Chain A
């Protein structure tokens, strides 16, 4: 089966690279440019995994994550948070509100792909 991955980030160049990377790995990919867009796309696209940037307009990644985790029907959704702010408090906060993993930018593409795969296949 083909996993569906939603990429939520407001940096267009990062979106380009992530989109390209994930498609190459054979995933079905959708893109959201801000927090509200991300919530909408989770509803319409029904991804298996969400790559979620923290610093986004309208709704931050934290807010999006909290909203998604409040919905029991989305319990199976994997969420990987991405952030350029590498502070330990933010990693802890992300994990506390229900993210499954936390990856700091800049990241290694190989590691990111390995992480995504392991998370999807562990279900």
Chain B
């Protein structure tokens, strides 16, 4: 008969042994002789195999056959992705990452909120798992004692509470001996590795006993199973549920990385990346060994207890007991205990670090009343917080165990936790491989995934325990069927884990990617993204130092280190740093960027990267670096990118400037051509009269015998051409003045009717000579007064009239001048019965030196400047000058001059 005292004694002795191993490991680590070898590291990874493995696998195999293997296939596959794990380890070492919350927060800009969020998810997700361990120990005790003393309860007042309390004390002793900048616990790792050996040995011992003691070996068991119809199905794969297999492989593969205890052991406690090479085959081998006897035990139990109500989860204990092998049963119990303690210790330490660094510390740092500056040594407070957190987490686990009771099978609880930590996957993988992932995206993804997990998995498990109504599971929230918690949007037919995994990861990944793409990272975020994603390429501590600019004092930073690490440990680290910088005394260390970086990483090890960032920036004067600047320093490729962007921009600018220059040049060339044409035309116009003058003068000069009549004729021509030359020069100067707006204007009230009469009068002689009839039609009534320059207005009238008389046929030519007063202006028309103008000529005549097409009658008189000058004058008065004409029907030149505004 197993005595309860014996079990208590053995259990205590076992825990004492673990403690001794841990102390030994810590002592060796302090002495610099680490006992963590590749084998120890690989074995410690087997903390993955908890009491759930130890007891629950057999139970699961009794119902699902080989499908229990999925929980081990996933991790095996995952650990084969060594590069992922190496990257995670290297990032964590470089960034002094202390937990998975720290990892995610650090990647996304050292965000305290994100760290807190991950911590909350981890605690909520993992507490049931801890409860599961307590339940396993409690259940195994029940099995032992129901066999031993029927009426001995309560042997302890409450054995499970006592177990939880002992584990809490034990964990505190293990995990919070001192604060370490690296947050490593070599003693604990050694103890966990020992745990792994014990539980494997115990399980294999029971397996051998049942297989070869109770039955006649493996083949015997399987032959018997094959002979029993209801057991035959256990030998095959679970064909009906491929999606279940897939999701279990996936979720357990993610769990091996992201369960807080796995991250702690695999990443934080890793001392040498080379150890992973051993773990790659040793850990899967371990999983294989511990699973070999699962199916024989399940079948053996079912065969042995056929018809009796024995819980398959307890076969590991009940089978030896049924055969009276009590010693073996106690060994099996110790094996289960080791599986549970290993898990609880590591998980609780990992969670307490997260709770302390990412929930409590940020809150304390923000608390105004917290006497940060007065406290000389905060390391004691930090340790206190962690110890409190450990006790609290175990208390929570105990409370959950009490509340959940017998409600739910072991395997169910474990998978709920697995699904919770699977929510870290998008932010983790995205953080390591996708630079564009942002803090907002990570928060969105985590919140979305966590909410779906809560609704589709955790709350339904509460409902199954009867704590809350199950209406939202059966009928949907608010009675909406598409909100049924385990058939969301009508997705039914999946098991609950696959269903939860599908929707939660859908929401998680979708939000992570979408929000990341829509949001812009901050400076710290972007620089951390570079560091994480390019960790394997980017390996320069010097660049780290360049990423900080500002002023710091050694005293301030040393004070921080002493307060958070404790004076002794702080000085130890400072001395090591001074040695690495080749400075004899750490008090003479320069407060440069590298020292600030050193201080921040040391603090990060103690209080997490987010809080460390806050503390350091409170102690130093920091100059913010621009995003571009940070990226430039971090990534030479990005420097090249920036350079080529700059080049591109400059070449774009050059192209634009070139285009502008080209068009300016074209305009100049056009202007030049116009000027050239003008000069050439003016030259022609000046040379033509000069030619006559010069030729005739020469002839007169050279030949005194020219007849008198010819002499008089020639002299007349010379005078006329001279006058023409003078007129031309005057008009060119006049036009130049008008064009350059330098003409002098005398503005006054002018009676336009009088101007018309006067100009007609002054040209009367010319009209008579040419026998051209001139008629004027002026409106009756008083003078028509406009504001204008009288002489200029006269110039326009004379120009129009003399043009008209030039073009009408002599003899029967008629010119008519009409003037009408309109609403806002006076309109003057000069109409002739000359040849008229073609459609194309109506505008041409207003260009310089372009005269009307009077080619039938020979070259016209005049300079070709009269109309351009007239038009400019009329436009100066605010009016218009144009011509209306059809070939053969005469031309009518019309101009308007605005009337002065009526004074009211």
A residues with a Cβ closer than 8 A to B are 10-14, 16-18, 20-21, 24, 33-34, 55, 57-58, 83-87, 104-110
Contact = CB atoms under 8 A, between A and B. Distances in A.
Interface stretch (B239-247, B695-703, B778-786): B695-703
B691 interface: yes
A14 B692 contact: yes
Contacts of B703: 24
A24 to B, nearest CB: 7
Contact of A109 (B693, B699, B721, B855): B699
B717 A13 contact: yes
A105 B680 contact: no
Interface stretch (B608-616, B618-626, B640-648, B681-689): B681-689
B830 to A, nearest CB: 25
Contacts of A108: 694, 698
B688 A84 contact: yes
A106 B691 CA distance: 4
Interface of B: 680, 683-685, 687-696, 698-699, 702-703, 710, 713-714, 717, 720-721, 855, 858-859
Given A57-B855, A109-B698, A14 B680 contact: no
Contacts of A10: 858-859
Contacts of B688: 11, 14, 84, 105
B858 A13 contact: no
A87 B695 contact: no
Nearest to B717: A13
Contact of B690 (A12, A16, A105, A110): A105
The residue in A12, A16, A86 that gathers the most chain B C-beta atoms within 10 A of its C-beta is: A16
A23 B703 CA distance: 14
A58 B854 CA distance: 10
Given A84-B684, A85-B683, A85-B684, A14 B691 contact: yes
A57 B858 contact: yes
13 contacts: A11-B859, A13-B696, A13-B720, A16-B692, A17-B692, A57-B858, A84-B684, A84-B685, A85-B684, A86-B687, A106-B694, A108-B698, A109-B702
Nearest to A11: B688
Nearest to A56: B859
A90 to B, nearest CB: 9
B721 to A, nearest CB: 6
B676 to A, nearest CB: 9
B692 A107 contact: no
A116 to B, nearest CB: 14
Given A21-B695, A57-B858, 13 more contacts: A11-B688, A11-B691, A17-B695, A17-B714, A20-B710, A21-B699, A57-B855, A86-B687, A106-B695, A107-B695, A109-B698, A109-B699, A110-B702
Contact of A34 (B692, B694, B696, B855): B855
Contact of B684 (A16, A55, A58): A55
A116 B721 CA distance: 26
A58 B857 CA distance: 11
B677 to A, nearest CB: 10
A39 B718 CA distance: 30
The residue in B680, B692, B714 that gathers the most chain A C-beta atoms within 10 A of its C-beta is: B692
A17 to B, nearest CB: 4
Contacts of A14: 688, 691-692, 695
A18 B695 contact: yes
Nearest to A85: B684
* Among all A-B residue pairs, the 9 with the closest Cβ atoms: A84-B687, A13-B692, A17-B695, A105-B691, A57-B855, A106-B691, A106-B694, A84-B684, A10-B859
A30 B687 CA distance: 24
Contacts of B713: 16
Contacts of A106: 687, 690-691, 693-695
Nearest to A17: B695
Contacts of A55: 684
Nearest to B859: A10
Nearest to B695: A17
Contacts of A18: 695
A110 B703 CA distance: 12
Contacts of B693: 106
A12 B720 CA distance: 12
Nearest to B676: A87
Contacts of A58: 855
A18 B855 CA distance: 22
The residue in B684, B687, B691 that gathers the most chain A C-beta atoms within 10 A of its C-beta is: B691
A1 B713 CA distance: 31
A64 to B, nearest CB: 15
Nearest to B724: A13
B683 A33 contact: no
Contacts of B698: 108-110
A84 B578 CA distance: 96
A20 B698 CA distance: 12
Contacts of A57: 855, 858-859
Contacts of A105: 687-688, 690-691
Contacts of B687: 84, 86, 104-106
B718 to A, nearest CB: 9
Contact of B699 (A11, A13, A17): A17
A109 B695 contact: yes
Nearest to B681: A85
A49 to B, nearest CB: 17
Contacts of A17: 691-692, 695-696, 699, 714, 717
A105 B859 CA distance: 18
A86 B684 CA distance: 8
A91 B683 CA distance: 15
A7 to B, nearest CB: 12
Contacts of B696: 13, 16-17
B326 to A, nearest CB: 125
Given A17-B696, A17-B699, A110-B698, A33 B691 contact: no
Contacts of B689: 13
A86 to B, nearest CB: 7
B717 A85 contact: no
A74 to B, nearest CB: 25
Contact of A84 (B683, B699, B702, B717): B683
A99 B224 CA distance: 127
B763 to A, nearest CB: 23
A92 B694 CA distance: 25
B172 to A, nearest CB: 105
A11 B684 CA distance: 12
A104 B692 CA distance: 13
Contacts of A33: 858
A108 B685 CA distance: 18
A106 B714 CA distance: 16
Contacts of B694: 106-108
The residue in A12, A57, A84, A86 that gathers the most chain B C-beta atoms within 10 A of its C-beta is: A84
A60 to B, nearest CB: 12
A87 B691 contact: no
A11 B689 CA distance: 9
A18 B500 CA distance: 113
Contacts of B717: 13, 16-17
The residue in B684, B690, B695 that gathers the most chain A C-beta atoms within 10 A of its C-beta is: B695
A108 B693 CA distance: 11
A12 to B, nearest CB: 8
Contacts of B685: 84
B502 to A, nearest CB: 85
Contacts of A110: 698, 702
B450 to A, nearest CB: 86
A74 B699 CA distance: 32
